[in-house]
Amino acid sequence: MTVRIGVIGTGMIGQDHIRRLTHVITGTEVTAVCDLDTARAEEVAASVGARALPTGGAVIDAADVDAVVVTSWGPTHAEHVLAAIAAGKPVFCEKPLATTAEDCLKIVSAETAHGSRLVQVGFMRRYDAGYREMRQVITSGAIGAPLMVHCAHRNATVPESYTSAMAAQDTAVHEIDVLRWLLDDEIRTVQVLRPRRTSKRYAHLQDPQIMLFETAEGVRIDLEVFVNCQYGYDIQCETVGEEGLVRLPDPAGVAVRSAGRHSTAVLQDWKGRFENAFDTEFREWAETVAAGTEPTGPSAWDGYAATVITDALVQALESGEIVHVDALKERPAFYGGASR
């Protein structure tokens, strides 16, 4: 069976996912798209033989759409995800699930009332081969109980519209999800340290930031977010346990020896770094849609937890204090039972 997909939002990542669903993944086709920029939607639709429809609602309700991909701006996600649940259609929503915890909870309630999972959130790092292997090592017990995790999330540059709060909402949100999943643990406190600001970027921006987390099990996590590091896109993660450690590999690249130097290239953006992860993410999601089974990736609950924790980080950035993530509710049985 070919899964017929409707895509809401044909901007940067929407176009990348449409390419993926058309040319990389087998068993999927994009049949309908929409965008506020109708000319862009028409152009993208024509390039893959799809129809451009006027609104997200029209895409969701279309008879030739079996499942929906939401790649519009974050504040519009909740509306589209809720409409897809009301239509009983599987929906893959790029991060964030919603920009407020309240909207995330509306989605959780709607999905729970529907009675089975329909929503998957686009936290693609769970599909990265390195993170998957790291999780296997941790769960196998090979390094003993995890004690500390050291992470870095560096982007070469960001546009001027990027704000200090986005270091949590847009960037660290990926670590928040992948760390909860890696450790099978919940983040309970957060703190943000403000190092000297880089002079290479905008005066309004606190960059870099050091985020500190403590989990329910007492694991301490430090995360450097530096979104104007200049030299490239660099993701680091090292988990230290009682009996050893496991470190994320750098992406493979040829080693060049020339002019007295031995070097390998550093990737420049997330598209290249996580390309294989995005492919696997969509392949596995489409398989569940084709089989009529529940999605197995990050759930609406994970989307909710990520939003609550990023809210706490923004509060911690402003106050300089340790913030307890008290707002996070207990995970319902529908999503796998009580979190710690």
Interface ranges with ligand NAI (CB under 6 A): 8-14, 34-37, 40, 56, 71-74, 76, 94-95, 122, 124, 170, 270
25 backbone dihedrals φ, ψ, rounded to 5°? -85, 135
Of these, 127, 131, 270, 335, which contacts ligand ISE (CB under 6 A)?
270
- Closer Cβ to ligand ISE, 35 or 177, answer by number: 177
Among 171, 191, 209, 280, the residue binding ligand ISE under the rule CB under 6 A is 171
Pick from 170, 175, 185, 234 the residue near ligand ISE by CB under 6 A. 170
Two tokens, residue 129: 């081969």
CB atoms within 10 A of CB 18: 22
Q: Which residue is it, tokens 């993530």? A: 325
> CA dihedral defined by 301, 304, 310, 314, rounded to 10 degrees?
-150
245 phi, psi to nearest 5 deg? -140, 160
| Residue 288 in the binding site for ligand ISE (CB under 6 A) | no
- Rank residues 127 and 301 by Cβ distance to ligand NAI and give the closer one: 127
Instruction: Examine residue 146 and say whether the peptide bond preceding it is cis (omega within 30 degrees of 0).
Output: no
Would you tell me the crossing angle of helices 12-19 and 275-291 to the nearest 10 degrees? 60
**Among ligand ISE, ligand NAI, none, residue 57 binds (CB under 5-8 Å by kind):** none
The only residue of 155, 191, 209, 299 in contact with ligand ISE, by rule CB under 6 A = 155
Farthest-apart Cα atoms in the chain, separation = 65
The contact mask relative to ligand ISE for 192-231 (x = CB under 6 A, - = no) is: -----------------------------------x----
Q: Which of ligand ISE, ligand NAI, none has residue 36 at its interface (CB below 5 to 8 Å by kind)?
A: ligand NAI
Among 126, 174, 180, 331, binds ligand ISE (CB under 6 A): 174
Q: What is the four-CA torsion angle of 234, 240, 246, 251, rounded to 10 degrees?
A: 0
Nearest to 146 by CA among 135, 154, 156, 155: 135
Interface residues with ligand ISE (CB under 6 A)? 155, 170-171, 174, 227, 270
